[in-house]
């Protein structure tokens, strides 16, 4: 069975559960926080995604913001 991120329409608690789509659509999955059965899918950022700020200018080192001594190939 798939793992779903669900959000309670009553208390807005977001939680993960293993169930079929049919189970939560039919209201057979309760919220673990308030036991309400009105749920909707909660969409979260995929695991492992890291957001980085772009460098201040082309060729700038991400660690210092100065000219990159690694020719822009920093691993930071």
pLDDT tens digits for 16-28? 999 888 887 888 9
- 13 domain-assigned: yes
Domains contained in the chain, number: 1
Residue 53 lies in a domain: no
Return the pLDDT at 55.
47
Read off the pLDDT band of 41 (50, 70, 90). Answer: confident
Q: How many CB atoms lie within 10 A of CB 70?
A: 11
Domain annotation covers residue 32: yes
Under a CB-based contact definition with an 8 Å cutoff, are residues 47 and 39 in contact? no
Asked if residue 71 belongs to a domain, the reply is no
pTM of the complete model beyond 0.85: no
Residue 66 forms beta bridges with which residues? none
How far CA 37 is from CA of 19, 29, 74, in Å, comes to 13, 6, 49
* pLDDT attached to residue 43: 77
Domain range enclosing 26? 3-41
Q: Which band of pLDDT confidence, cut at 50, 70 and 90, is reported for residue 4? A: confident
CA distances from 72 to 40, 53, 56 (A): 44, 14, 12
């Amino acid at each position: 069975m798939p793992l779903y991120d669900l959000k309670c329409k009553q208390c807005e608690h977001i939680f993960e559960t293993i169930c079929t789509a049919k189970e939560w659509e039919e209201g057979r999955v309760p919220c673990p926080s308030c036991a309400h059965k009105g749920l909707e899918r909660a969409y979260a950022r995929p695991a492992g995604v890291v957001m980085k700020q772009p460098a201040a200018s082309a060729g700038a080192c991400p660690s210092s913001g100065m000219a990159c001594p690694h020719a822009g190939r920093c691993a930071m």
